Structure 1
Amino acid sequence: MVRLTLLGLVLWLYLAAATPLNPHVFSDTTDYPLPNPGNIAAHDPSILEYNNNFYLIKGGVRIPIFRAPKLDGPWTRIGTVLHGPSTIEKGNRRRPWAPTVAWWNNRFYCFYSVSQTGKRNSAIGLASSDSLESGAWTDHGALIHTGTGPGSDIYPFNVTNAIDPAFFVDLDNGKPYLQYGSFWDGIFQIALNDDLSVGNPTNPTADHLVYLPDEKRKPNEGPFMSHRAPFYYAWFSHGKCCRFEDMGFPEKGNEYSIRVGRATNVHGPFVDRDGKSLLEGGGSIVYGSSHGEVYAPGGIGILPGAGDRPDVLYYHYHNTSIGFKQEVCAQDTLP
């Protein structure tokens, strides 16, 4: 199983003074390394390296785009993906959630979510551009719908929530896939065509990746797929992510943590380090709350290594010394 090194990057968010720490809520374990500062506020970040720069997009009004020469900044806002509200007539169309940016067939693509908290009437949208900086993005609208909308009655869209998209290309055969899902029936993977439309839309090739069969509440979301031969790694966030000031803190251990399983095939089955299937509630905790400072890490992505730099696991979390109104983004390098 992949192990984290001690290196990391945090994207800080400066807020009001933190809530006093409660030992029944916050973990002071030192099992996980402290992240290093990166000096930008972000929730559900997505990072891409291109032309000797790093580009970060995050959930927010019209999906903001930032650029930096290094992972620790300084980050400069250079524009947005969308020029106005999403063309999808659902949910938070002015402030999409959990975007992910990818380079595919000589074009940049941004997958994003429109939804409402606690609702399954959601959609994953797609935008594209020939430049990360020109602002010439085209919003192509919805790729998949759940709840209502075209195709929402087809499995697995009829049992899932269309948020938290992630994009992965199988290096063995060059085929593209979309991972998505939150709560309900868990996390799925859908095969895409080369134009990034859903393959065989009336009967899509669907892999069930992550599920909690025996629990009424199923807090798995934020998937991401990576590959290091001979294994494929299915990453996800588990637990409560946010809104702690409004809704209170869960019991210690029920907040966000970063989990993973692996398989020798992109379609699975994925198991954790103990051999438990991710479809049976498995998932090894790779990074969790620690030091009484890091709280509820999640919203992960993997930035592939380049040159002397290894792969990087990046994520957001709450810094307990700052506050809980929003999450911050962090990264740890992988060996």
Structure 2
Amino acid sequence: MHLLALLTGIILLHATVNGSPQPSAPSPTGSSSSSFPTTTKYPLPNLGNVAVHDPNILHHAGAYWLFKGGVHLPMYTAASLAGPWTPLGTVLDGPSAIPKQNRSRPWAPTAVAWNATFYCFYSISKAGSRNSAIGVATATQLDLGSWSDHGALINTGQGNGSDIYPYTVSNAIDPAFITDQSTGQPYLLYGSYWHGIYLVPLAADLLSVTEPERQNTTTNLVYVPEEKVKPVEGSFMSYRDPYYYAWFSHGKCCGFQTGFPAAGKEYSIRVGRSKDVRGPFVDQDGRQLTAGGGTVVYGSNHGTVYAPGGVGVLSGAEGDPDVLYYHYLNTSIGFADTDAQLGWNFLHYEDGWPVAVSGDNSTGTSESSGVVVGPDYTLHVGSFIFVWGCLWLHS
């Protein structure tokens, strides 16, 4: 009996050292292993170690500042993209000044530094509605209590200016920001489903759209004309000489608790490029983004990463590589919107096209830390055989 207890202890210790089974993920109706692509075409993410949906990251004063959708727009800071992330509180000290639904839970913020001022653009909306708005808050420093909410910058559905094109056909959510490298003109990107993603010029103080009644100042950047459902949203624009890159999320973003779309119909991160900030943008096959184009740079992979989107890019400084960051669902954790995790990868460029690479350095030679570790069943079987043999001899 002492021998049996000793050998059983060895097995338990071996299982502890070599990994224990991960907690089972929820099994929504209609889920199956085929719902989660196992491709290794895309690298596993470097872990951000924070739960976040539609992340936005600002690199300032040697630190990273993370903004996410939620009650009054939560803020975090960290010395590294891997965290740990310190919660700082919220941008807004109460509901948004915009008199629309969900005023207390703005979506998809984007923070930028511009002319010694910090701007935080945010969305007010609800699922399936085009009665939306993009608001903006400003601060002179990244401290709590220093932000001023200026209310709506753009309205769609209802509200001031919503009767002017393109606000009559678009959905005012998911703001992003870019400047024309040659003129310094600031622009706002926004849009979701309906008529896709638009680019509009901003005034110098970033608090209004320049000449909103002039239709020729707006540009439709991304559109899916041949499909009834037009699942493009979550845009971002980056610049790497000589190209502007229009990034966007394509597919179903969330709401997977009751089932999954066909494989490949979930979120993926896509891109097109142009030498003009206003486009037209084309994908790697030469197809315009307004004709349904878009090269997939990052999608579900390894059976672990599902529906990556909410994309952003941190431009590398002084020779450092650009960083692609996003949220994704880890299939071992769960599929609620609140389960979304921060992931990131360095970008390499091949013939001017961005490619996500594995590893936590610019060479892409070391393996990502995004893998889910499970039990070593081969070694466990060997242990049981060893125990059984000892017990047989002992008998």
Scaled to the shorter chain, the TM-score interval is over 0.9
CA distance in 2, matches of 1:317, 1:91: 26
Unaligned runs of 5+ in 2: 1-21, 349-395
- The answer to whether the Cα contact below 8 Å between 1:154 and 1:203 also exists between their aligned partners in 2 is no
Calculate the TM-score normalised by the size of structure 1.
Answer: 0.93
Q: Secondary structure at the match of 1:245?
A: helix
Mapped pair 1:316 → 2:327: yes
1:195 Cα deviation after fit: 1.1
- Counterpart of 2:111 in structure 1 is 101
- The answer to whether the Cα contact below 8 Å between 1:79 and 1:133 also exists between their aligned partners in 2 is no
1:294 Cα deviation after fit: 0.4
- The answer to whether the Cα contact below 8 Å between 1:79 and 1:135 also exists between their aligned partners in 2 is no
1:224-263 equivalence runs, <5 A: 224-246=236-258, 248-263=259-274
- Counterpart of 2:128 in structure 1 is 118
CA distance in 1, matches of 2:277, 2:144: 34
- Counterpart of 1:132 in structure 2 is 142
Which of the residues 153, 156, 166 maps onto 2:163? 153
CA distance in 2, matches of 1:108, 1:329: 23
1:305 Cα deviation after fit: 0.9
- Counterpart of 2:233 in structure 1 is 221
Q: Secondary structure at the match of 2:126?
A: coil
Output the aligned Cα RMSD. 1.3
CA distance in 2, matches of 1:141, 1:37: 34
Query: Which amino acid in the other structure matches residue 222 of structure 1?
Result: G
1:22-101 equivalence runs, <5 A: 22-101=32-111
Task: Tell me whether 304-313 or 290-299 shows the greater mean CA deviation.
Answer: 304-313
- Counterpart of 1:329 in structure 2 is 342
Q: Deviations over 1:274-318 (max 9, x none)?
A: 000101100000000000000000000011112453111100000
Mapped pair 1:208 → 2:208: no
- Counterpart of 1:304 in structure 2 is 315
- Counterpart of 2:25 in structure 1 is 18
Calculate the TM-score normalised by the size of structure 2.
Answer: 0.79
Q: Secondary structure at the match of 2:257?
A: helix
Q: Deviations over 1:239-277 (max 9, x none)?
A: 00111004x100000000000001110110100000001
1:134 Cα deviation after fit: 3.9
CA distance in 1, matches of 2:284, 2:246: 12
Structure number with bigger Rg = 2
- Counterpart of 2:385 in structure 1 is none
CA distance in 1, matches of 2:115, 2:321: 25
Q: Percent identity?
A: 59
Task: Tell me whether 31-40 or 55-64 shows the greater mean CA deviation.
Answer: 31-40
Unaligned runs of 5+ in 1: 1-14
- Counterpart of 2:152 in structure 1 is 142
CA distance in 2, matches of 1:299, 1:52: 24
The change in CA–CA distance for 1:74 and 1:113 in structure 2 (over 3 A counts) is: same
Query: Which amino acid in the other structure matches residue 219 of structure 1?
Result: P
- Counterpart of 2:290 in structure 1 is 279
1:92 Cα deviation after fit: 1.3
CA distance in 2, matches of 1:308, 1:282: 30
Structure with a larger share of its residues in helix: 2
Q: Secondary structure at the match of 1:24?
A: helix
- Counterpart of 1:266 in structure 2 is 277
- The answer to whether the Cα contact below 8 Å between 1:295 and 1:317 also exists between their aligned partners in 2 is yes
Matched positions, count: 320
1:19 Cα deviation after fit: 3.3
1:23 Cα deviation after fit: 3.2
